[in-house]
Amino acid sequence: MKFTNGFWLTREGYDINFPRMVRDVKIEDERVTLFAPCKDINHRGDTLNIPSLTIELTAPVENVIRVKAWHHKGEVHRGPDFDVPPEEVSLNTESTQEELLVSNGSLQVRIQRNPFRVQFLHGDTMLTHMESKGLAWIQGPEKESYMRAQLNLGVGESLYGLGERFTPFVKNGQVVETWNKDGGTSSEQSYKNVPFYLSSRGYGVFVNHPENVSFELGSEAVSKTQFSVEGELMDYYVIDGPTPKEALGRYTELTGKPALPPAWSFGLWLTTSFTTDYNEETVNHFVDGMAERGIPLSVFHFDCFWMKEFEWCNFEWDRDCFPEPEAMLQRLKAKGLKICVWINPYIAEKSPLFDEAAANGYLLKKKNGDVWQWDLWQAGMGIVDFTNPDACEWYSSKLKSLLDMGVDTFKTDFGERIPTDVVYFDGSDPERMHNYYAFKFNQVVFDLLKQERGEGEAVVFARAATAGGQQFPVHWGGDCDATYESMAESLRGGLSLTLSGFGYWSHDIGGFENTATPDLFKRWTAFGLLSSHSRLHGSKSYRVPWLFDEEAVEVTRHFSQLKNRLMPYLFAKAVENRQTGVPVMRPMLLEFPDDRNSHVLDQQYMLGDSLLVAPIFNEEGIGSYYLPHGKWTHLLTGEVVEGGSWHQKHYDYMSLPLFVKENTILAMGKTNDRPDYDYADDVSFAIYQLNDGQKANAAVTDSTGRSKGKIEATRKGSQITITTDMESLSYSVVLKGMDSLTSVSSGDLEKLADGMCIRLKDSKEVVLTL
């Protein structure tokens, strides 16, 4: 929210009060409290009739400091709250008459007593600072209260994140309201609002407020990032990396690491689409058609109309279209498929469940006790109150019946249009629940899946989210259009989301609204199958590739098989995400923070730390991409390109800019018809451009995430020493972009067309001479 009228004036009706000095300090082992009056105190009389702010510094984890500031602390607190660790880390404090220095790990806070000023530093390096007016209590024209914080933006500093945002990737100059809305991918609205931003300078700021937080990112005061909330309290964390990747990882220490999705979820998902006509015959036609054409399929999804119209959700199959759902599901599962069905948290009035839910208090209520209802989406629908434990148990019981029938996962759609003129069972604040509702909804479904299917088998396909929602993967990008512009905006949203703590992201291949041209569908398919998760889905038309053209079939088969072969590499990155919080799909900034060119790139990304993907966004088939310094090898052609500049090249539909960075060991599997298999069995390790004096390694897991060992390669001059501790020793090593082998210390040597390959079965170490 903006409180000023240009640089000099305050907006009419607003009174801005900011600390002038630190009058008193209370230092404890785990807490430092500052008492800061909003007036210069020259004599005792100045202490009267003035507001004062109390500022508290604590630390929940290393290199993170929490800042809480309030005007009046007597305000009754009503949840919900983000689930963050308690502040139990001891702070190091040094105090003089002029300043106070508070530190936690590498993060230091230097507080100037008079005039009030705060600096946040990594060691001696300034990250950001708060000037004398940077913290304020503001009274509005109706005597309403706001708290505002401002942190300075450095010259050349870029900001990212704040959830899945389809506006420009770099957030500088934007105004962002973190209020979940169902606005598609073509507007400033977002399904997934996260009050966390990441700086190119290697720090992050998490504003610990589930309600609407208003951000002005260099837009009201152009040299400052400003965030404000209504009320008497401001609560935020400053997170030191010191790199963007490390800062993002520390943020997930606060709000939760993503769970490890099951390996099968990385394969291709196919849906019935939304309003299309379908029954079991249609489904079988799609499934069998994919198999007949050699296109690997992992999951089949039934969208909304698996239930009767006007009755969403009743959790009952429409028996007119699916007379034998149990038998149908078993027939589909016999074909090797997992089954997903669409759900949302709404109960239409025509649903047989409405009266039951209303009678038991399972739906949100108006202040007068009536059930809150409206007709937008479903006629007379109510909304499940997930603050009521009995409602959660009831809702879960309906889903459990579907799991018992053979369903494996749920598409947890909607959850954004949550009203605020309601009363919650547990007394939660409706403003704070608006965004947090999506967290509760997905948590209930995910926990049920974990309970019924086991750890590592739970996965949802969710649309709405807020901070912490990354714990319940996977999320997809919502309703995009069948245009190149919408394809690009979808990617921007996904990259913003992964810089907000989310490890996995998907999108509707070919666009949801309207029907893509064959050209667009093929380009989007390559992009979709080089995303962490991949789904063919549409609104009014089917998305099976043969309805576009025969080449679309070839493209879908080609990239589906490629993704399955990449699973040893991809799943190792998923395990890494569970451990570190670093996303599988990564903006270039995360891997190349020192390359200023990478800071603005939003039409390409890293898939893991070694693969660069640049989707094609035009009918001419021109791939335009930037390669950071070093040698890059095209994964499909073996072409070696020197980095450090922009490149442009034409690609046919079977290719796109897809490069492996130097000093990489890329693990590739032998299986291309499914994503879940034994990744260590006859795995191939391709060593790309290993430079003299460099070391590279790769980890291998099984399809549950259990480590099966790692391989390491070290080069000294013309010799490459390879060591491994893998349980299975059936593997091969291929050299890419290097001189030919002249000798090998052990193993069978086999010459390949694109390099030299050794196949090893009984050696923990081998020395290669080039």
Choosing from 413, 431, 519, 576, the catalytic residue is 413
- For residues 166 and 319, give the distance between their C-alpha atoms in angstroms, rounded to a whole number: 39
508 catalytically annotated? no
Q: Which of 465, 463, 448 is nearest to 412 (CA)?
A: 463
Residues 6 or more apart from 759 whose CB is under 8 A from it? 731, 732, 747, 748, 750
In degrees and rounded to multiples of 5, residue 623 shows phi and psi of -90, 125
| Closest by Cα among 309, 260, 748, 308 to 532 | 260
Copy the structure tokens of residue 653.
Answer: 């539909």
Helix 325-333 to helix 280-292 angle (10° resolution) is 10
Angle at 310 between CA 308 and CA 316, to 5 degrees: 35
User: Who contacts 301 (Cβ-Cβ below 8 Å, separation ≥6)?
Assistant: 269, 270, 271, 272, 339, 340, 341, 342, 411, 461, 535, 537
Q: CA torsion sign, 441 to 447 to 452 to 458?
A: positive
Catalytic residue flag (residue 479): yes
Q: Mapping DSSP to helix (H, G, I), strand (E, B) and coil, where does residue 375 land? A: coil
Q: Which of 479, 481, 602, 662 is catalytic?
A: 479
CA–CA gap between residue 543 and residue 49 (Å, rounded): 68
Distance CA 529, CA 507 (A): 10
CA distances (Å), origin 509, targets 273, 503, 524, 528, 535: 12, 19, 6, 6, 6
Instruction: Report the C-alpha gap between 462 and 477 in whole angstroms.
Output: 9
Residue (of 702, 703, 697, 675) closest to 685 by Cα position? 697
Check 416, 429, 602, 702 and give the catalytic one.
416
Whether residue 768 contacts residue 760, with contact meaning beta carbons closer than 8 Å, is answered with no
**Separation between Cα atoms, residue 409 and residue 680, nearest integer Å:** 27
Beta strands in 532-663 (DSSP E): 534-536, 585-586, 605-607, 611-613, 622-627, 631-634, 640-642, 645-650, 658-661
For residues 472 and 461, give the distance between their C-alpha atoms in angstroms, rounded to a whole number: 9
Express the helix, strand and coil content of the chain in percent, nearest 5 each. Answer: 20, 30, 45
CA distance to 34, 130, 237, 577, per residue, from 68 (Å): 10, 14, 9, 30
| Known catalytic residue at 426 | no
Non-local CB neighbours of 330 within 8 Å, separated by 6+ positions: 406
Which phi and psi (to 5°) does residue 100 adopt?
-130, 130
Phi-psi region of 74 (alpha: psi -120 to 50; beta: other; left: phi over 0): alpha
Closest alpha carbon to 198 in 589, 597, 542, 567 = 589
Query: Residue 686 in 3-state DSSP?
Result: strand
Please state, in angstroms and rounded to a whole number, the distance separating the CA atoms of residues 451 and 337: 21
Write the secondary structure of 538-575 as one string of H (helix), E (strand) and C (coil): CCCCCCCHHHCCHHHHHHHHHHHHHHHHCHHHHHHHHH
The two structure tokens encoding residue 93? 């404090």
Q: Which residues are annotated as catalytic?
A: 413, 416, 479
